Chains A and B, each alone.
Chain A
Amino acid sequence: MKFKIEGLTVYFPYEFIYPEQYQYMVELKRALDAKGHCLLEMPTGTGKTITLLSLITSYQLANPVGKLVYCTRTVHEMEKVLDELRRLHAYQEKEIGKEAAKILALGLSSRKNMCVHPEISGEGSRESVDAGCRKLTASWVRIAAVDNPNIKTCDFFENYEKKGADALLPPGVYTLHDMRSFGREKGWCPYFLARHMIQFANVVVYNYQYLLDPKVSGIISREMEKECIVVFDEAHNIDNVCIEALSVNIRQQTLEGATRNLGKISQVIEKFKATDANRLREEYNRLVEGLAQRGNLPVADNWLANPVLPDDILREAVPGNIRRAEHFVAFLKRLVQYIKGRLLTEVVESEGPLSFLNSLNKECSIDQKALKFCYDRLQSLLTTLEITDTDEFLYIQSICDFATLVGTYQRGFAIIIEPYDDRMPNIPDPVLQLSCLDASLAIRPVFERFQSVVITSGTLSPIDLYPRLLNFNPVIFKSFTMTLTRDCLCPMILTRGSDQLPVSTKFDMRSDPGVVRNYGRLLLEMVAAVPDGVVCFFVSYSYMDGIINSWNEMGILQEVMQHKLVFIETQDVVETTLALDNYRRACDCGRGAVFFSVARGKVAEGIDFDRHYGRLVIMYGIPFQYTLSRILRARLEYLRETFQIKEGDFLTFDAVRQAAQCVGRVIRSKADYGMMIFADKRYNRHDKRSKLPGWIQTHLRDAHLNLSTDMSLHIAREFLRKMAQPYDKKGQGTNATLLSQADLEKMEQMENMQA
């Protein structure tokens, strides 16, 4: 269908549109018009992706704006976005003709997902694929291969290079799979082709990292124009992603590995000195001129760029004391030695970057300026030394990463040294953590560089906290609810067991046998009343282990298994995948199954339990973060001082968004239905409940608060019977959940009349 929003013609590839999608488009368009950032919350299952794509591409057709940069969290989501876009594009072509609707849209991912080289692409990890690729495509390898045909190169890369600037993708929509098959067909390397084509593309879909992690964004996203529209989808955890991008952990083995790396580098330096001293001298001269040279290097040699904000120091010359290769190696050795010494501590130490720099300066006379350049200096050195197996040099790279971050930022970071893990105080496992406390540091360049940044997700509540956390001013922030033909959501807050005793995972209550038993009875009653799949989320792995053990001893687990099979998420990815697979099979064949999982775990973040795979989610307790963690303490303190966010507010916000994320797994579309039980008396309190997303709160009727097990069982039974009845999918009158083109035109006329 085709309709107008405030004068903009929007092409939408489906015959009907949900009212909230229309509202979403209106708000989004206003934000784009105002050339500002916006924050939009809309429940999952209402077609956010197609709404975004449809409006923004239509906007691109009508106005001269830059690319659409669409950031997703996983490769799977990326493929879904591109598939939707393909459908949209086909519709646009039909409506306005092939020429007018011409776009180029492509996905970009790591080499592991894009490589088509027969041997390299079979490698297991991302790092080994990267290193394998470099071994074949580094400039010096290729130069050597010209003289010596025995040296292997990558045919795909060679062919691509031969074509040079003529290697172009014809317009269209390309998923990763399409890129690979196109690459195979033409004999071009899809990874480098994609990177090259980004500058011509109208729509680019890639991972958050490519924009947020300064190491990566420096090379990939450098050439984006200011008019770009950036979208972060599923962005409820965006602050954590930002923080992770700027945090470094250094352990004992990191240091040992770094020492090994340095030894190897020294050897190579010696060798070069004997054979090719010129190279080192050339490098020295380059460094004198400053790091701006990086742009001159061939594409393939650009490993990872500077973790600092690019403009800050690029034009400065590298300090004299690390210009010479051997001096730099000695410098790093001192640094590693110093950190080693720090790790020997018996007590936990916590300090800011400034005091760390100070003591570093005093003890090893290493100054801040030199530290700042570590990362670039190392890259330059590794390039000069023609080292290709980069995966082996990860250790020294993370040390330099650390050095540069410490050297660059004086605020918003904390350095915490812990001699052992709190949970196992007898085993020494010292770790030095450089922890970023301020999520706005990583995302600030994005906000500054691009005209419109859209942050959207199904759960962004409370929506006013995000602008403060990320330190930006959205022109529009809004939360949409879902229109439904029937009440297919049934959230409940359970505060008591059948014996009327309160249940909670508060620390002083959680190991109480009464609470454990009441939780167990709840599960037991529910598995007997709910068909197919049931998912349970616990607050942590250790709590889950404990409670499952107790249930086993009480015989509850055996009774549960009479009704449904039990599957458990573990920290092992392979095991969990297998468990999930079998869980789905048990749901499919009618045996029924329960899945025990952990909030904040892999399953809670990325796996959907839609339709019969999840008719009920039980959230046991409130998934607060581990509050004794020193990093969290430091971050809370920082938030309080810098952004005036109260500790309790932030912790509750974080816990409730995780809980909402967990229970949101059950409902993925409007035709679906599911129940959610929040099993903790604390959810009944207003400060917790009010932080749940709007689309849950609207369905949380008074009758569903403060329930005991038997009451919720009654509600569950009735709900399931009601949902099993046939219903009218379209809805009628004020209840309408689908709008046709005619409806929209009518709405527009009404608005015009009012205006």
Chain B
Amino acid sequence: MGPEEDGTNPMDEDGDGDAEEQGRDMEAWEKAYAEDRSWEALTEDASGLLLAVDVTQQQRQHRRRFAASKGPRIQRGIIRYVFVVCDFSRAAAEADFKPSRMGAVANCVEAFVREFFDQNPLSHLGLITIRNGVARRLTDLSGSPEAHIRALRANLECSGDASIQNAIDLARGYLSSIPSYGHREVVILYSALSTCDPGDIMDSIAECKKANIRCSVVGLSAEIYICKTLCDKTGGVYSVAISESHLKELVLEHAPPPPAVAESAVASLVRMGFPQRGAEGTVALCACHREVKLGGGYTCPRCKARVCELPTECHICGLTLVSSPHLARSYHHLFPVPGFEEVSVQLQSMGKFDVLRLCYGCQQELPTAGSKAIAGVRLECPRCKQHFCFDCDVYIHESLHNCPGCESLVK
């Protein structure tokens, strides 16, 4: 190959260096301000004084977000069997998430496990890690959050390639044996950008689909085609995190139970036992630890074996053991409190609601038309027609899951 023609004026051949500074990227701290533009929300009045931020607008926005995430009332899978797959391959050592991708994943998984059992007390969860191209099961499907977190914390190192196929094959092996009323899910936290598979991953995906396993992926670096395919085919959700906090948000989105898949949504009866807590001081042979334990524990109502914690399956007779608060806590996913409706200002001004001056929840004064003293929205429960303030609305829908107005109706 000969020399190349290089334009006309060789003089400015090495003219780089001067203009480079002006185009530099912003520093990270600058970016947070430049992108948020928080100052734009501030408004000034005629005399140049800052006006208070419009609380009503903010509250409306929050409610809109909440309503969007809620959706219509649908059947949900309450009894879930979930494997969380953590990719601890070479790519997890990258430090673009602090302290490292692996650390960020571990933190998120820890938060997720707690949140998961809080929202789904009847469900089971297991952990799988991928390292050196091999998927390994860290913990079996079980109901105790502490055991999972302990196992994860003890296994924080990363190396080698990642393999999605190995992971979902392993998970499928465990999930395919669970009873049909359980919802099978795999949530993958994926750091790597490629997958080194022993065989055709498309077959594995097809098998997952056949076994009704819903696979979701949370990516840490970029959108990967195969992950998208996996999620699309199995009905899962694919998302990619931008930052540590976004990652946590995305992972926690998997905590509430997903909508039930149509074909597996046939109603079926599940036999459950409600064991009694043993008296302090009794000595019994523990079925889960295979040793003699003193006090505490629960006794299976069918075979009288002792188990340490609930919910679980009896190790002797296989009965599902739960306590009634567990059931109750899962209940709200199925029968959510109806969304409250905002009472429009026009109706207020007609003087119709003078009686309902106070919030039925907290007994604080509610905003009324005309008076500027209290900003915010006024909300009404469609069933009991009581009025609530914004804070109570959030508390009722996000934590309490009961409407005090409806509960105190005389039935």
Contacts and interface: CB of A to CB of B under 8 A. Distances in A.
Contacts of B196: 591
Interface string B24-49: 11000000000000000000000000
A649 B7 CA distance: 7
A507 B1 CA distance: 9
B25 A714 contact: yes
A564 B3 CA distance: 33
14 contacts: A502-B16, A507-B3, A528-B91, A530-B193, A532-B193, A543-B1, A562-B161, A588-B226, A703-B24, A703-B25, A705-B20, A705-B23, A714-B25, A724-B219
Contact of A531 (B7, B221, B242): B221
A624 B96 CA distance: 38
Given A495-B16, A506-B4, A507-B3, A590 B25 contact: no
B6 interface: yes
Contacts of B239: 724, 726
A342 to B, nearest CB: 25
B324 interface: no
A337 B226 CA distance: 64
A647 B23 contact: no
Interface string A484-507: 000000000001100000100111
Given A590-B201, A685-B7, A702-B22, A540 B1 contact: yes
B291 interface: no
A626 B194 contact: no
A530 B164 CA distance: 18
Contacts of B141: none
Contacts of B68: none
Nearest to A627: B5
A720 B242 CA distance: 9
A241 to B, nearest CB: 23
A682 B194 contact: no
Contacts of A702: 22-23
Given A681-B16, A706-B23, A590 B8 contact: no
Contacts of A506: 4, 6
Contacts of B201: 589-590
Nearest to B22: A702
Contact of B164 (A542, A590, A715): A590
Interface string B192-203: 011111001110
B197 A589 contact: yes
A624 B4 contact: yes
A589 B202 contact: yes
A237 B197 CA distance: 42
B329 to A, nearest CB: 31
Contacts of B3: 507-508, 627-628
B16 A720 contact: no
Given A502-B16, A563-B193, A685-B15, A724 B7 contact: no
A58 B24 CA distance: 50
A703 B30 CA distance: 15
Contacts of A622: 4
A124 interface: no
Contacts of A701: 23
Given A592-B193, A649-B8, A507 B2 contact: yes
Contact of A590 (B14, B16, B23, B194): B194
A441 interface: no
A350 to B, nearest CB: 17
B25 A711 contact: yes
Nearest to B241: A721
| Most A CB within 10 A of own CB, among B7, B25, B240 | B7
A115 B201 CA distance: 41
B409 to A, nearest CB: 41
Interface of B is mostly: loop
Contact of B195 (A502, A590, A726): A590
Interface string A694-738: 000000011111100001001101001111111000000000000
A195 interface: no
B51 interface: no
Nearest to B21: A706
A2 interface: no
B226 A589 contact: yes
A724 B16 contact: no
B193 A529 contact: yes
A542 B240 contact: no
Contacts of A624: 4-6
Nearest to B240: A724
Interface size class of A (residues with CB under 8 A): 35 or more
A720 B200 contact: no
Nearest to B228: A612
| Most B CB within 10 A of own CB, among A502, A688, A701, A715 | A502
Interface in B201-245: 201-202, 219, 221-227, 239-242
B250 to A, nearest CB: 10
Given A531-B225, A627-B4, A703-B24, 18 more contacts: A507-B4, A528-B91, A529-B221, A531-B193, A532-B193, A590-B225, A612-B224, A624-B4, A648-B7, A649-B8, A685-B15, A705-B20, A711-B25, A720-B221, A720-B223, A721-B221, A722-B242, A723-B222
B350 interface: no
B12 interface: yes
A703 B7 contact: no
A704 B23 contact: yes
A295 to B, nearest CB: 48
Contacts of B24: 703
Nearest to B238: A724
| Most A CB within 10 A of own CB, among B3, B96, B241 | B3
Nearest to A652: B7
B23 to A, nearest CB: 4
A709 to B, nearest CB: 14
Given A531-B222, A626-B2, A627-B2, A592 B7 contact: no
Nearest to B222: A720
Contacts of B242: 721-722, 725
B270 interface: no
Contacts of A714: 25
A651 B224 contact: no
A587 interface: yes
A626 B241 CA distance: 46
A563 B20 CA distance: 32
A648 B222 contact: no
Interface string A636-666: 0000000000111101100000000000000
A383 to B, nearest CB: 46
B264 to A, nearest CB: 27
B2 A628 contact: yes
A581 interface: no
Interface string A616-633: 000000101011100000
B25 to A, nearest CB: 6
B355 interface: no
B2 A682 contact: no
Interface in A513-544: 528-532, 539-540, 542-543
Nearest to B4: A624
Nearest to B230: A590
Contacts of B91: 528
A315 B225 CA distance: 64
B262 interface: no
B2 A422 contact: yes
A442 B8 CA distance: 30
B14 A542 contact: no
A721 B7 contact: no
A715 B193 contact: no
Contacts of A502: 14, 16
A562 B96 CA distance: 20
A423 B1 CA distance: 7
Contacts of B226: 588-590
Given A531-B223, A531-B225, A715-B25, A646 B8 contact: yes
A502 B96 CA distance: 27
Nearest to A629: B2
B348 to A, nearest CB: 32
Interface in B274-293: none
